[in-house]
Each structure stands twice: as structure tokens, then as C-alpha cells.
Amino acid sequence: MNDVEEIVRARNNLEEVHQGQRRIWNSFKGDVCARCVAHYIQTHLSSKLKVVGPNVYLDGFPTEFDLLIVSEGARARQFTAAYPPTLAVACIEVKASGVFGGRKDLQGILERIKNDFDAIRARFPHVAFAYITIREVSQPRREGSINYLEETKRVLAPYQVFCLQDVRTKEIFEEQWDQFMHFLKEAATTSEKRFSE
């Protein structure tokens, strides 16, 4: 089984385990999915970089991120999960199933994510940003229904958006993981040169 199949399987197993239970498991699912994605990212990075998270911050910014890629020597400020922005390579937003809601809710949530990315990029242009969802609606059943993946890409542009599986068809997009890793490796290469200067 490859990385994408493992990530999708882990996410879908969570769905099966908690199916029919009254309690909402969204936070737990999000935590597990972020840890799973972090594990597989780390296997592709050089030893000079590390993935931290979930629930991490860039020092001086109140925004919580699912994952950060930072220099191997980066340490969080004491008693926090806030890492120095100067040692950050990438901020990654991870979604188990994308953002759901009507068009109005979707746009507002995505605009907040984009605004957070913009605020950090304005001060630290070396940091790369990506949004990855394990499952998303990319092929709506009815004409006029929301194509959540396309809407996410539209609102978050110019930031990169990746999706590993369509919710409805269950089609797995292995090439999306490859593109995601290529994007992160390019960011890593640029940052490693900056760290060694």
C-alpha cells in the first residue's frame, strides 16, 4: 500500500469506527488525519527538516496551524507550541473532509484561511503554504451543486490546494500526493539554502 492509500484508509477507518455514535468526532478525526499526513511527509523530507504539529503556531501570530515544516534545530518557545517564523519552511492546513456548509459558510471559512496565510506571507515571504484535504467533493452528483474542491481552489488562490480522494466516487488521486510532496520538497530546497547562508 502506498502513502495515499494508507492516509485515505486511516481516515476512512475513523469514519467506520465512529459511525452511528451520537458524539461528534470531528476534532479527533482532524487530529488523527494531521498526524497521519505528518508521518508520511516526514518520510520524504531530509533529516535537516522536521514536521511539527498538529496544533502549532508561528511565534508572534495567533493563528493555529495543523502542521509546520521547520528546520531540524527549531524549538518552540517555552511552554508553547509556537515556532520561530524565521526557521519555518511551510504551513499546512489539513482537512479530513474539506470544509462543509453552504456557499456562504464555505467562502467565509476559506477566506479566513487565506487571510491567515496572507498575514504571515506579508512578514515572512519565504514560508510556503498548502491546504490538503483527504476527502472532498470534486465531482458533484447534480448540476448546480457545489464543487467544493474547485471552490476551495478558487478562494485560496494563489495558494496550493491538494485533494487525495473524491467523497462521492471514492476515486483516489495519487498524483495529488506526488504534487503535494513536490511542492514541499521545492520549498524545503529553497529554505535549506537560506538556512545554510
Give pairs for 186-189: CB < 8 Å, separation 24+.
186/128, 187/69, 187/89, 187/90, 187/128, 188/45, 188/46, 188/49, 188/69, 188/89, 188/90
Rounded to the nearest angstrom, the gap between the alpha carbon of residue 74 and the centroid of all alpha carbons in its chain is 20
Percentage above 70 pLDDT, the chain: 88
pTM to 2 decimal places: 0.89
Q: Provide the residue ranges of all domains of the chain, joining segments of one domain with +.
A: 3-196
State pLDDT tens for residues 134-172: 999 887 777 777 888 999 999 999 999 999 999 888 899
State pLDDT tens for residues 95-135: 988 876 666 788 899 999 999 999 999 999 999 999 999 99
Q: Shortest CA distance to 183 belongs to which of 104, 91, 96? A: 91
Q: Which helix (H) or strand (E) holds 51?
A: strand 49-52
Q: Mean pLDDT of all residues in the chain?
A: 88
Whole-angstrom Cα distance, residue 57 to residue 64? Answer: 5
Whole-angstrom Cα distance, residue 75 to residue 189? Answer: 20
Sorted by sequence, the CB contacts under 8 Å of residue 193 that are 6+ apart come out as: none
pLDDT at 91 over 60: yes
**For range 49-70, the mean pLDDT:** 95
Whole-angstrom Cα distance, residue 162 to residue 72? Answer: 25
Q: Shortest CA distance to 137 belongs to which of 168, 162, 182? A: 168
pLDDT at 82 over 70: yes
Whole-angstrom Cα distance, residue 75 to residue 21? Answer: 39
Q: Shortest CA distance to 171 belongs to which of 8, 26, 33, 6? A: 8
Q: Residue 19 has what pLDDT?
A: 63
In the sheet that holds 128-133, the strands lie side by side as 49-52, 67-71, 88-95, 128-133, 160-163
